[in-house]
Structure 1
């Protein structure tokens, strides 16, 4: 975020950036990108991944952060150095605490392409060597409720079995009319469009809190100042995720698969 944008109290939605991983997996990355080169404390990276049947991520290392994977379509086979083997399917989530170091692999299940969302959350410096850990949740275990005209599934937050070292909330929203996102004071976060399109208001870089901006699938709206944001559908169902957390106030130093 530039100083001018921070002074204005928000930023406008930005398009994600296409990324092709060395294993041939394609992603739409929300941040960090050329348009938004920074992480968003406490969040290191967020992207939507698309894995073809003949692609995937062979066993590789991570350390120093936590990973939340949330499946949108298809299934993904996970295996790791803790001995865990699990397949996450549509509407299901996994959390890995990489801590002092873990290895894992990710491949599409059943010979069919899959796609989902992956979030990297920094571990505070005093917890970089945390015990390695893994937990998953089925779609039935993630609380879903109709709230304020939207269907809200809690991936991380109250009622979810997915917990992290960082206080945070991760919501999957489906709205046909309008819904207002309220971020706790002192927290930062972002919205990311999954399917459909609509508009946002309340986080305008021009200083007008009532201004409305287009917002659709593949767009990201960083919200570093805990501003309330209203999301409206364009008439159909609009699916997006709303992620927020308490910043650590520490530099985020990412080196490939490690967050130091």
Structure 2
């Protein structure tokens, strides 16, 4: 097998799979279908990650006007395109391979709707913010596919959405330190990826099937999330005849209490109650919600 690595090929403490969960389809938004992995009762929270959805939308379904507070959303389009607009006047469209990294902070109301006909698919990740960052002003970072750094070597391609791989670093600023890597391994390829030891991490298998963490473990097919043990890196092998594509995501845990109610994530139930009041009365960050509707 060929191999590719930005670091040493053997780790002092290799990460292995400690939990495997199939993301099953459920309804969400207005007629959309999502495969939710993190955020279900079997895996409610993987600090600092609140939710991971693989969404599938065919117009006119979508995610109409809705609020957020206290965390970040990362939307990564796999197929088709989505238009985002919010009550602060921001509007943009991301297509296949593009990323929108949104910091909801103290409050945002927005819509996410498909563009054009046919199937639109992607991943959406929710990343928690620390108590000191929950009430920051909303912010966006958008990367077009052509601007996402990538490396190809020995049958391995990696798109570096956040963090670092093979000596190449993403320009995305992550308030909660995060890595988000999109790997494609051709048949018989192998990769070894360093992960900061103190971080929690997981894999989401997008296409194909792969062997993760231990060479003698069973191959895992698409639509599974794999929670990884502590360690300094992950090894992955593609023993199949077809390409393997997966996202490797890791983040520094916040180690703070989590109180959540739908699209609001704070530290205490009192803060959630305050957030609901702020949203209902259009104040403390939600002022513009009073008159705004998406077009």
Same fold (TM over 0.5): yes
| Large movers: runs of 4+ above 3 Å | none
Pick aligned residue for 1:229 from 234, 251, 257: 234
Moved more, 143-152 or 86-95: 143-152
Whether the 8 Å CA contact 2:38–2:49 is kept in 1: the answer is no
Q: Which residue of 1 aligns with 2:23?
A: 16
SS in 2 for 1:230: strand
Query: Based on CA coordinates, which of the two structures has the bigger radius of gyration?
Result: 2
Q: Which residue of 2 aligns with 1:5?
A: none
Pick aligned residue for 2:252 from 235, 241, 246: 246
Instruction: Tell me how far 1:227 sits from its aligned partner.
Output: 5.5
Q: Which residue of 1 aligns with 2:283?
A: none
Report whether the alignment pairs 1:164 with 2:174.
yes
Instruction: Tell me how far 1:222 sits from its aligned partner.
Output: 0.9
Q: TM-score, normalised by structure 1?
A: 0.88
Q: TM-score, normalised by structure 2?
A: 0.78
Q: Summarize the Cα distance change of 1:119–1:41 in structure 2 as closer, same or farther, 3 Å threshold.
A: same
Whether the 8 Å CA contact 1:178–1:232 is kept in 2: the answer is yes
Unaligned runs of 5+ in 2: 1-14, 267-295
State the alpha-carbon separation in 2 of the partners of residues 28 and 167 from structure 1.
25
CA offsets, 1:96-122, max 9 Å, x none?
110000011011112333110000000
State the alpha-carbon separation in 2 of the partners of residues 9 and 75 from structure 1.
35
Aligned Cα root-mean-square deviation (Å): 1.8
Pick aligned residue for 2:84 from 75, 78, 81: 78
Residues 187-198 of structure 1: pairs in structure 2 closer than 5 A: 187-198=199-210
Unaligned runs of 5+ in 1: 1-7, 203-209
Whether the 8 Å CA contact 1:187–1:224 is kept in 2: the answer is no
Instruction: Tell me how far 1:181 sits from its aligned partner.
Output: 3.0
State the alpha-carbon separation in 2 of the partners of residues 82 and 226 from structure 1.
42
